[in-house]
Amino acid sequence: MSVEVTNESSWGIEPKVFSDLGIWVLSQMRVSTDCDVAMLFCEPAAIADLHERWMDLKGPTDVMSFPMDELRPGDGKSAAEGILGDIVICPDVASQQASAAGHSTMQEMMLLAIHGMLHLLGYDHIGPEQEHEMFGLQRQLLLTFLAQRQGAEPPAIAPSRNEMRASKHLSELSNRKNDSNSHDSGSVE
């Protein structure tokens, strides 16, 4: 299992940190030890070009994932070889998001790396339930990685706007369901 990290950005990225993180996430998700991931840190113009070319959306984004082989979380016993895919992260966008979320740019980039890994493994956040599952898992993975790495409690990371929206949405759905149940007329005797 390998995670190759390349830095083409102006930021001082520590490749070993992200390589270790990627390998750890893959092992936690029980992905075969014979898979490879490439992670690239780039400038806003480079990711904006990819964003427009592949997503037909203008402007830079935080992270993009490009799956290769269809590897999925498993039992850790399978020996399937393959290239899981590529992850592209823009530190400039990560820095803006980190400020808004109230944590460090490093934590945001680590969160984005995990987010990209989960996309490569087939996770998505199209609907509220998927978003809640994926964002909860990426947060749990990051906090656990930081705690193990530091040998202490991980630093607090404020929930992202998407996590807060997903939680609020799920709460609203639950309240609507409870309201509709309390409005049922009559009782069965």
Q: Hey, what amino acid is at 163?
A: E
- What are the distances in angstroms from CA 114 to CA 132, 150, 185? 15, 18, 48
Domain layout of the chain by residue ranges: 2-180
pLDDT tens string 110-137: 999 999 999 998 888 888 898 889 999 9
Residue 132 labeled ligand binder: no
Domain 2-180 is in which class?
A: alpha beta
Q: 138, exposed or middle or buried, with CB in 10 Å at 0-12, 13-18, 19+?
A: buried
Residue 51 labeled ligand binder: no
pLDDT tens string 70-98: 555 555 555 456 788 999 999 999 999 99
Whole-model pTM?
Answer: 0.75
